[in-house]
Amino acid sequence: MKRLLFYTVVGMQALFLIGMSVSYYAMDHWGETIWLETEPVDPRDPFYGDYVTLHYEIESFKDERWQGEEPPERGDKVYLIVEEGENNRFELVKASQSSSKLSEGQVEIKAVYQWHNPTENEHQVSIGLNRYFIEEDTGEDFERTDRYVVEIVAAPWGQKKINSIE
Amino acid sequence: MNRGELKKESEKWVKEGVISSDQRNRILSRYEKNTRHLVLLTFAALFIGLGFLTFIASNWSALTDLVKMAIILFFLLVFYGAGFWFYNKKSKSVGLSLLIVALSVFGAGIFLTGQMYHFTSFTAFPFFIWSLAAFGLLIVFQESLLFIAALVIITAGQIYSGSVYQEFYIPLGILFIAGLGMILYKKGNRLLTGLFAVSYAVQSIVFIFSHGWSYYWLILLFLVLYIVSHFPYGRIHLKPFGAIAVFSIFIINVFQVFLLGYESEDVEYSNLFFLSWSILFIYAVIQSAMESTKFKWIDLVLFIPVFRIGAGDLLSLLLLFIYSLGWLLAGYRKERSDWVAKGTIAFLITTFITYFQLAWAFMDRSIFFFTGGLLLFILSFFLERKRRQVKGGEHI
C-alpha cells in the first residue's frame, strides 16, 4: 500500500515534468502561428546578459480597443484578440477581461494587465514573451535592428512560445 | 542494537563467561564492517552524484533540450528509488536525505524545464506543484523532515508570490492550512508547531499587504492563532501557537508605539473589523476564564486595538506595560520563574522603547545613551534579585 502510494507520488512528478516538455512540442501541432511586430528597441543595447528584451506593438493600445468599463487592476488576466493584417503581421482587434467568441482568422492570446495611462488614453499589458533567451556569446551574431518580427505559436490551451525572431 | 550498545553489553557477557573474548571480537567486527560499508557506500554515491552534477552543469548549454529532460528525469527517479530502498532496507536517515535530494531535483526540474521551454508563469504555481510533491511524500513517510520541507517550500512560494506578483497565492494557503494543518493537528510535536506558527505569521503578513490592507488586520489573524493554541481538546502540542502569536502581536505593539500618533487611524471596513474582533476577543476571554491557570488574560491585553481612538502610541505603550507587569506580578505571586523571566524581558524592552520614544528628541545623544544604559542596568539589577528570590522560593 505504502509502496504503491510512493510510486504514485513519484510517478506524478515525473509525469508533470514530461507533460511540460510534451506540451511544448504539441504546440507545433495544435497551435496557431502568428507574427507580431515589436516596438522599436534601441539597436545598440537590446541585450541583457543572455536574453533580448522584447515589447510587442499589441501590448499597448488606446482606450477604444478596450472592451469593458473600468481598466482592471495590475496583474489581472486579460484576453487579446488579434487578426492578420498587412504583410502577415497580426494586429490587435480588441482586448477584454473575458474570453469571447472568435471569428474566422482570429486568434486569442492571454495577457496580464500592467497599467493604464489616463492622460494618453493608453493601456499596457504583457503577453509574457518579453524575454527571448539566446545562447551565451552569440549576441554578436544577432542581427541588430530597431524592430523585430517575432513568430509565435499559440496553443488552444493558452500556452505560447517564440519560434523564431527576425 | 547498534555497535556501541553491543560493545558495552558484550563486555558483561565475557565477564560472565557467556562468550569468549575472541567470540566477542568476531561479533563486534561484523557490526563494524557493516556500518563502515554503509558509510562508504553513501559517500561513493554522493561523490558520483556530485561528479555527474558538476559535469552536467558545466555542459548544460551544449546539451539539447531532450537530453536535458532525460537527465533531470534520470536523477529524479534514481534518487527517489535509492531513497526508498535505503529508507526501508538500510537506514532511515540516509534514505530520508536521498528523498530530500530527489525532492530538490524535482523543484530544480520544474524551473529548469520552465526555462528550457520558455514557460511563462504569472503566479506561484510552480511552488504549488513542488509543495504538493513534498506533501505527497509526507503522507507516505510521515516524517518530520518532510513536514519541514513542505513548510519551507510553501512559505518560500508565498513570499515569492507576494514580492514578485503582489499576490497571496490561495492554493498554497489552502495546502498550508488544510494539508499541513491537518497533519499537525493529528500528530505533531512542539518544533513542528512552532515552525508552522512562524510560517503562519509570515503568510499573514503576505496576505494582508498583498491585498493592500492596513497592518491592523494582522491583529485578527494573530488572535485566531492564539485562540487555536488554547483549544480545549488536550492538544498540548499546539501550545507554541500561543507563544508565536503573543510574540508577533508584541512586535506589532512595538511598531505602533513608533508609528501611531495623536490622530486616530482610518479603518477600512471598520464594522467588519470591529465586529470580528469583538467576537474573537470575547471568545478568547471566555476561553481564558475557563482555563485552570487564571493568568492567561494578560496575553489578551496585547490584542486590544488602540489605533482608532487617538494617542495610539501612548496606549500601545500602556498595553505593553500592562502585559509585562502583569506577568511579573503573576510570576511573583505564583512563584513561577518562567513567568518572571518572560515579564522581565518584556518589561526591559518596553522600558527601553518608552525611553527611546520620550527622551530621544529632547536629550543630548551621549546623555541619552548614558542615562538609558544606567536605567536598564538598575532595572535589571532589581528584577534579577527579585527573580532569584522566586527561584529560591521554589526550592524551599
Q: What are phi and psi of A91, to 5 degrees?
A: -125, 160
The pLDDT > 90 percentage for chain B reads 20
Q: Would you tell me which residues 67-86 of chain A have a C-beta closer than 8 angstroms to some C-beta of chain B?
A: 74-75, 77
Is B69 within 8 Å of A12 when comparing Cβ atoms?
Answer: no
**pLDDT grade for B32, boundaries at 50, 70 and 90:** low
Tell me the CA distances in angstroms from A99 to A129, B269, B392, one per residue in order. Answer: 20, 32, 75
Give the model confidence (pLDDT) of A119-146 as tens digits: 888 888 888 787 776 665 555 556 666 6
Over the range B38-49, which residues count as b (16 or more CB within 10 Å of their CB) and which as e?
A: eeeebeebeeeb
Distance between alpha carbon B99 and the CA centroid of its chain, in Å?
22
Write down how long chain A is: 166
Average the pLDDT over B212-220 and give the result: 87
Nearest to A95 by CA among A82, A114, A76: A82
Cell readout for A48 is 541583457
| Burial of B328 per CB tally in 10 Å (0-12, 13-18, 19+) | buried
Instruction: Show me where the domains of chain B are located.
Output: 1-62
Give the model confidence (pLDDT) of A6-50 as tens digits: 999 999 999 999 998 888 888 888 888 888 888 766 545 544 556
Average pLDDT, chain A: 79
Q: Is A137 on the interface with B (CB under 8 A)?
A: no
Sort out which chain B residues have CB atoms less than 8 A from A59's CB and list them: none
Question: ipTM, 2 decimals?
Answer: 0.73
Q: Would you tell me which residues 133-192 of chain B have a C-beta closer than 8 angstroms to some C-beta of chain A?
A: 133, 136-137, 139-140, 165-167
Task: List the single residue in B73, B122, B137 with the smallest CB-CB distance to A112.
Answer: B122
Residue of B nearest to A6 (CA): B140
Q: What angle do CA B387, B391, B395 make, to 5 degrees?
A: 165
The pLDDT > 70 percentage for chain A reads 84
What is the rounded CA–CA span in Å between residue A17 and residue A21?
Answer: 6
SS3 of residue B144 by DSSP: helix
Give the model confidence (pLDDT) of B60-113 as tens digits: 777 888 888 898 899 899 999 999 998 888 778 888 888 888 998 898 888 888
The amino acid sitting at B70 is A
- DSSP 8-state code for residue A102: P
Task: List the single residue in A77, A128, A136 with the smallest CB-CB distance to B61.
Answer: A136
Q: Residue for cell digits 548614558?
A: B370
Mutate to test the interface with B, among A8, A17, A135 (most CBs of B within 10 A): A17
Sign of the four-CA dihedral B390, B391, B394, B396: negative
Nearest CA distance, A78 vs chain B (angstrom): 12
Tell me the CA distances in angstroms from A79 to A92, A125, B125, one per residue in order. Answer: 11, 10, 20
Q: Which residues pair with A162 in a beta bridge?
A: A152
What is the rounded CA–CA span in Å between residue B190 and residue B186?
Answer: 13
What is the rounded CA–CA span in Å between residue B243 and residue B251?
Answer: 12
Residue of A nearest to B164 (CA): A75
A vs B: CB pairs below 8 A = 67
Stretch among B37-46, B65-74, B268-277 having the lowest mean pLDDT: B37-46
Tell me the CA distances in angstroms from B53 to A146, B60, B72, B101, B116, one per residue in order. Answer: 40, 10, 10, 12, 17
What is the rounded CA–CA span in Å between residue B18 and residue B155?
Answer: 57
Cell readout for A143 is 542581427
Is A18 within 8 Å of B73 when comparing Cβ atoms?
Answer: yes
What is the rounded CA–CA span in Å between residue A128 and residue B285?
Answer: 51
Q: Is A4 on the interface with B (CB under 8 A)?
A: no
Task: List the single residue in A21, A128, A159 with the smallest CB-CB distance to B69.
Answer: A21
pLDDT at residue B347, as a whole number: 87
Nearest CA distance, B120 vs chain A (angstrom): 6
Average pLDDT, chain B: 82
Is B76 within 8 Å of A14 when comparing Cβ atoms?
Answer: yes
Distance between alpha carbon B36 and the CA centroid of its chain, in Å?
36
pLDDT at residue A3, as a whole number: 86
